[in-house]
Structure 1
Amino acid sequence: MTIQWFPGHMTRAKRQIEEKLKLIDVVFELLDARIPEASRNPMIDEIVGGKPRLILLNKADLADPVANAAWLAHYQALGHSALLIDSSTGTGVKDIAVRVQALLKEKTDRQIAKGLKPRPARALIVGIPNVGKSTLINKLAGRSAAVTGDKPGVTKGQQWIRTGGGLELLDTPGILWPKFEDADVGFRLAATGAIKEEVLHVDEVGCTLIRYLADAYRDTMVERYGLDALPATLPDMASAADVLADIGRRRGCLGSGGHVDYDKAAGVLLRDLRSGKLGRISLESPVIS
């Protein structure tokens, strides 16, 4: 699943971030807790350089708690400040200001030593599309200060937003890298909705997801869709397509002649995953070296 998708506004966003970086005190790198590494844009390290950074594992309420703990420990072991949050429910959001104070303590102490009154910290929020940046900003600001949506590409420009917690936030459009050579990365981004559905085959994503779930979350699949005869493993896409067809029949995803509409069936599966109706599911785990 090699996907190329780099709209013009993303090119502009990269340039604008680089221009604004000199005004920034701390960078919030917002990741999807269900796919932390797949949702990490490798361009971000190059763009933000050595700026203090707080990794925010968003949508943690949708992710597997065991995987959440493993990812948190992983990033902390690498020397990063990391926090589990959910911008929709507010989980962990109040802890962000405390982490920022810790990250900027040396700078703040120097300002105080010089007799200066520290100004509000200026934070840049970066992340791939549909990871929840605007929702987080609105939660921090306590109002609808940024446009939100459940599909990628909603935020088209940049804006400074003041919050009551001693922060000034710069929202930016999501930046996705130009090409995904790794098929697993493409699948994970597609399954969680980071990529517009027009650029992928929905039934292929659905079958790939079924193969993963049958292996990692078989009981969840059986309970949700009544798949009592679900095999322990699905060796190929054809066997996964059979399961997708079963789900389609059970959910009424039928076309003319009573045949299963595989795209509709895959859509049901993906919506269940993204909404949490399938349960708390993570699509990757940290590699332990």
Structure 2
Amino acid sequence: MAITQNYKLNLIQWYPGHIAKAEKNLKEQLKRVDVVLEVRDARIPLATHHPQISEWVGSKARVLVINRVDMITPQVRSLWIDWFKRQGEVPYFTNAQHGKGIAEIMQAAQAAGVALNQRRRDRGMLPRPVRAVVIGFPNVGKSALINRLLGKRVVESAARPGVTRQLRWVRISEHLELLDAPGVIPARMEDQEAALKLAICDDIGEASYDNQLVAAALVDLLNYLEAVAPDLLPKKPLQSRYELDSISDTGDVYLHALAEHRYKGDVERAARQLLTDFRKGLLGTLPLELPPN
């Protein structure tokens, strides 16, 4: 579904210098890493897949972490598990804020290191801790995941994207060392539909975008999902929250109606509130992507 058709191309602009620098540092550090933990957002697991990750990971072990599992329903989660399995991947679902699924991530990362240390022993070398790196878009929950793995807060974890700037190693146990990397976003986002979803979910870092266009796109996307998969979404999430139904309106028309209905005609305020409510889960457990057929 082309939610971007009504919006100008390259709607979302980014690529601050620190991300370019972070990417360069990350490529250097990856040479020393044994296993990559790729963290994605359960609401948009496809849009939060970095297009260069396969190239960066190469032959290293990779653990696929789908965070924010609390923001989708168990039914949607099951559909994604089945879909990823068909792609030959095992997704690990977590809620890093509350520590759900963390033990399984630890086991998966350490299991990847068993083979590594067996090879070291075969060559007459001593075993060493597995070196893992956590990679993902800004604000998908990487720092919260590391804090949970450590069992104590060592990495600054904040609600705003792009807090982690430096690369540093943290020792998790005698078996595991972790590299916390800043959120990396592609140099250019060819797929503006994915870029819109990143903006809606606040997984985009220090990008510049128009709140009103992004909020309107959210309404269009919800209307579309309600039409194609009503059983997988809460019933009429916008009407339940704002007492204003969206189904007959385009996103832009709805946003203006919502501004009149609730915010004295202030469209920017309506847009910001709509995005905030979605991000906080106040519209319900809403996926913005479903597994491709």
Name the TM tier (shorter chain): 0.7 to 0.9
- Do structure 1's residue 241 and structure 2's residue 252 form an aligned pair? yes
Runs of 4+ in structure 1 over 6 Å off: none
Query: What is the rounded CA distance, in whole Å, between the counterparts of 1:133 and 1:198 in structure 2?
Result: 19
| Alignment match, 1:195 | 204
1:117-151: CA deviations, max 9, x gaps? Answer: 63322111111111111111111111221111212
Query: Any idea what SS the aligned residue of 1:248 has?
Result: helix
Q: Shift of residue 193 of structure 1?
A: 0.4
Q: Shift of residue 250 of structure 1?
A: 4.5
Q: Shift of residue 209 of structure 1?
A: 0.7
What percent of counterpart residues are identical?
A: 35
1:26-46: CA deviations, max 9, x gaps? Answer: 000011111111111112221
Contact 1:72–1:84 under 8 Å retained in 2: no
| Alignment match, 2:130 | 121
Contiguous gaps of at least 5 residues in structure 1: 255-259
Contact 2:167–2:180 under 8 Å retained in 1: yes
TM-score (norm 1): 0.87
Contiguous gaps of at least 5 residues in structure 2: 1-8, 227-232
Please tell me the residue identity of whatever aligns with 2:254.
V
**Which residue of the other structure, out of 62, 73, 86, is the alignment partner of 1:77?**
86
Contact 1:248–1:264 under 8 Å retained in 2: yes
Q: Shift of residue 116 of structure 1?
A: 6.0
Could you tell which deviates more after superposition, 170-179 or 211-220? 211-220
Number of matched pairs: 276
Please tell me the residue identity of whatever aligns with 2:218.
L
* Matches for 1:110-259 after TM superposition, within 5 Å: 110-111=119-120, 118-164=127-173, 166-196=175-205, 199-215=208-224, 216=226, 217=233, 219-227=236-244, 229-231=245-247, 233-234=248-249, 239-251=250-262, 253-254=263-264
User: Aligned Cα RMSD in Å?
Assistant: 2.2
Contact 2:162–2:206 under 8 Å retained in 1: no
Contact 2:165–2:182 under 8 Å retained in 1: yes
1:172-199: CA deviations, max 9, x gaps? Answer: 1111112222231121011000235761
The 1:72/1:104 distance shift into structure 2, 3 A limit, reads farther
Query: Any idea what SS the aligned residue of 2:236 has?
Result: helix
Query: What is the rounded CA distance, in whole Å, between the counterparts of 1:176 and 1:61 in structure 2?
Result: 24
Q: Shift of residue 169 of structure 1?
A: 0.7
Query: What is the rounded CA distance, in whole Å, between the counterparts of 2:58 and 2:207 in structure 1?
Result: 33
